[in-house]
Amino acid sequence: MSLGGGYTPWEQMLYQFTNQFASQAKYDDFAALAAVTAASVAYATKGYLWARPDPYAYKLYERPQQSLSTGTTIQQSRDLAQRLDEENADVAILWASQSGTAERFAARLAKDLSRYLSVKVLLVDLSDIEPASCTKVPEGKLAFLLASTFGEGDPSDNMHEYWEWLHTAKGASLQNFRYLAFGLGNSKYKHYNAVMKTVASRLDAFGAKPLLPVGYADDAAGETEEHFLEWKVRVFTYFQEQLGYKLQEVGYEPSIDIQNDDSLEPIDLHHGIPNTRTNARGSSAQSKVYALPITQTRELFQDTNGRNCIHMELDLNEHPELKYKTGDHLAVWPVNPTVEIERLVSILGQEERRTSPCHIKSLDGTPVKVPSPTTLNALLEHYLEVCAPVPRDAIATLATYAPTEDAKQLLLSISKSKESYHEYQANNYINLGRLMEKACPGEGAWKGLPLSLVIEKLPAMQPRYYSISSSSVVQARRAAITAVVADKPLQSQDRIPGLATNYLLSLKSSTEQAAVSHPNGLTYTLPLEHQPLQASHIHAAVRKSTFKMPPTAATPIVMVGAGTGVAPFRAFVAERSKLKAMGRDVGATKLFFGCRHPQQDFIYSEEFDEMKAKLGDGFSLTTAFSRPDNKSEKRYVQDCVEQEAEEVCRLLVDEKSYFYICGSAGMAREVSDVVNSIIRKRQGWNEEQMKDFADRQKKQKRWLQDVWG
């Protein structure tokens, strides 16, 4: 007997199978029948009850740099020449950014060129174009490139494809490619602005034509903003004198529209979950963002004396898919302090509007940097950097809306020159709310200031990155971070509180209340609003790092860290202690650690004593104290490295040890200089031989740095 037509071969086979077993039923047969039936059900329900595809996956591929909240689903061409033609643009502005600064500058440049010179601009994330399509850009068009350098001369995540093309393309011709370039970096780093220098060099080698010398921003002294403004003046001058554009005096024109919509329900709104963007073609180094429970916090400084260092541990168990490896980083999204939010809302006279649902839409085609729909409360608490300094050119724009003549003259006097701006900045904490309050205080005093201008001028909230100070081998489902509370002193004896670290300090003070205060006098409303339980969570993501231990535990390692630069080394040593206890062969583990005073800020000292007991002579810790008691000698980590030159050289050269530096960029440069010097002296090498050795070590990932400015 067989089934009639209309049935699939699978259904016919199943029918014959069950019919046969019905006449010759045995216990094993029924077991087999049950297995086949289960398989049949699984096959039939695939895609319905299980293995359901992500309905938004295609959107991440089509628009890797755009938040899903915008609703954009149109796939755009990756051909730069085609995009310029389709949008009738004369200029393409391509940006590559890690922390968001280059992206922000690119958006400002696009808007200013359009408004003041009537230039038709295409603003593009560098990962959204096919690199080779630059060869097809016609001579009548030109391009801007803005790119940042981070780490050891590394390109940003969204530049990886373009970076690879620049280094591997053969026979590419950019004879018609005219460009202007601006790089962002920090001269304290050894590879200052290396990315843009390399990009310009490779473009020129392919025949591209630079229209102006490359501009460089140096953040070592906080000059990035001023260097950008100076470069932009040169760009505007070139456009007027060489390209024939005419400068127009225009007033403020909003680039976004904000519309209240009371029909929206709370579930429709963005209340505080970070506004992140997935880059499908760039690096997949960073995980999704999760609300992670805080399981432990403690003060690490023995004598705080106005200073704090926080150890915080976060539970990953609620998110099985979230994993980290020893040496990775944790990206933490901070929350703005309530006192600064209240100041800004009050002086803008926006109290009645702060909880109203609203849509925020672009008026000029530029992607909106904040999620929509949302509320003003959420914007000022989670999505905009309310505490950020106000750029000089933004102060000049602000002056046009000053409610009094005195307020206008004060703002104009601050913004008239680089010198006047820096002088005021050295003595005053000038975030937007404080600046307006200084110029003209009073509730609603600045009610005439367009809210769109406030949203445009405040930068989007960016995560802060911390080295994970725990080992994934020791505690795989709990990640620890270590952070010194950073407050910048001013000449006026006032201080600028570090946003993220003071937020973490607030969380340490209480994990149960919705709002807490801490010693610096700032109050934070913790995410999510009106939910006290969320006070024990932070929004964070794991970022993969190349700062990794050797593949085998038997390989020696030498580590140099100062201050919280010891954080990843706490993880390294803890992991080796665990492996040693498991009977594994563990190589020499040498750590140089520097801080101010042995009884004040020697963090994790007791833990290192415990690890020493487990590792025995295989672990050595050399300390350097820069502010010891009068009887002691002031020492820095580079001094200790030099004093133990023979042992360090033996490990690095003879034993092929891995070498790690973590801490400030200035410290890292001095340590590197000392290591270069002692190896050259011991080996009798010249500069070229030493460079070859260092380059080889770095290429093999045996010489690694994790540094900051």
560: tokens are: 């140099």
Please state the separation of Cα 415 from the chain's center in Å.
Answer: 29
The string of DSSP codes covering 110-179 is HHHHHHHH---EEEEEGGGS-GGGGGG--TT-EEEEEEE-BTTTBPPGGGHHHHHHHHH--S---TT-EE
What is the distance in angstroms between the CA of the first residue and the CA of the last residue of the chain?
80
pLDDT band at 98 (very low <50, low <70, confident <90, very high): confident
Note the pLDDT tens digit of each residue in 500-514: 999 999 998 765 343
Note whether 313 and 294 are within 8 A (CB).
yes
Note the pLDDT tens digit of each residue in 457-483: 999 999 999 999 999 999 999 999 999
CATH 2.40.30.10 in the chain, residue ranges: 285-333+462-526+534-545
Note whether 231 and 337 are within 8 A (CB).
no
- Distance separating alpha carbons of residues 556 and 7, to the nearest angstrom: 66
pLDDT band at 630 (very low <50, low <70, confident <90, very high): low
Looking at per-residue pLDDT, the higher value among 279 and 58 belongs to 279
Beta strands per DSSP E along 282-373:
290-299, 309-315, 329-333, 358-362
- Distance separating alpha carbons of residues 102 and 460, to the nearest angstrom: 12
Residue indicated by tokens 């001023």 = 226
Q: How many helices (H) and strands (E) does the chain have?
A: 22, 23
pLDDT at 47 over 90: no
CATH 1.20.990.10 in the chain, residue ranges: 335-460
* 596 CB burial (10 A radius; 0-12, 13-18, 19+): middle
Report the share of the chain in percent with pLDDT over 90.
Answer: 72
Mean pLDDT value across residues 106-129: 93
Mean pLDDT value across residues 234-257: 92
Note the pLDDT tens digit of each residue in 373-408: 999 999 999 999 999 999 999 999 999 999 999 999
Q: Does domain 285-333+462-526+534-545 have CATH number 2.40.30.10?
A: yes
pLDDT at 61 over 50: no
pLDDT at 212 over 80: yes
pLDDT band at 305 (very low <50, low <70, confident <90, very high): confident
Neighbours of 274 (CB within 10 A): 22
pLDDT at 19 over 70: no
pLDDT at 235 over 80: yes
CATH 3.40.50.80 in the chain, residue ranges: 557-707
CA 239 to each of CA 211, 227, 230, 541, 559: distance values in angstroms, whole numbers, following the listed order:
10, 19, 15, 42, 51
pLDDT at 513: 46
Looking at per-residue pLDDT, the higher value among 307 and 617 belongs to 617
Q: What is the CATH number of domain 335-460?
A: 1.20.990.10
Mean pLDDT value across residues 313-328: 96
Beta strands per DSSP E along 374-463:
none
Mean pLDDT value across residues 159-167: 93
Looking at per-residue pLDDT, the higher value among 264 and 527 belongs to 264
pLDDT at 42 over 50: no
- Distance separating alpha carbons of residues 312 and 534, to the nearest angstrom: 16
pLDDT at 95 over 90: yes
- Distance separating alpha carbons of residues 206 and 177, to the nearest angstrom: 9
H helix intervals, 587-664: 605-615, 637-643, 645-649
Residue indicated by tokens 């409610």 = 403
DSSP-derived pairing of the beta strands 464-467 and 329-333: antiparallel
CA 63 to each of CA 103, 159, 234, 279, 502: distance values in angstroms, whole numbers, following the listed order:
16, 16, 33, 8, 35
Q: Of the spans 248-262, 290-304, 568-582, which averages the highest pLDDT?
A: 568-582
Q: Measure the CA angle with vertex 648, ends 646 and 651; round to 5°.
A: 105
pLDDT at 464: 94
pLDDT at 251: 82
Note whether 245 and 119 are within 8 A (CB).
yes
Q: What is the CATH number of domain 80-243?
A: 3.40.50.360
Given its phi and psi angles, is residue 4 left (phi above 0), alpha (psi -120 to 50 degrees) or beta?
A: beta
pLDDT at 41 over 60: no
- Distance separating alpha carbons of residues 556 and 333, to the nearest angstrom: 36
Instruction: Return the half-sphere exposure (C-beta side, CA atoms, 13 A cut-off) of residue 353.
Output: 18
pLDDT at 314 over 60: yes
Q: Which helix (H) or strand (E) holds 237?
A: helix 224-241
Q: Measure the CA angle with vertex 59, ends 58 and 61; round to 5°.
A: 65
CA 317 to each of CA 248, 306, 323, 476, 532: distance values in angstroms, whole numbers, following the listed order:
58, 35, 10, 9, 21
Please report the sign of the dihedral spanned by the C-alpha atoms of residue 332, residue 333, residue 336, residue 337.
negative
CATH 3.40.50.360 in the chain, residue ranges: 80-243
Q: What is the CATH number of domain 557-707?
A: 3.40.50.80
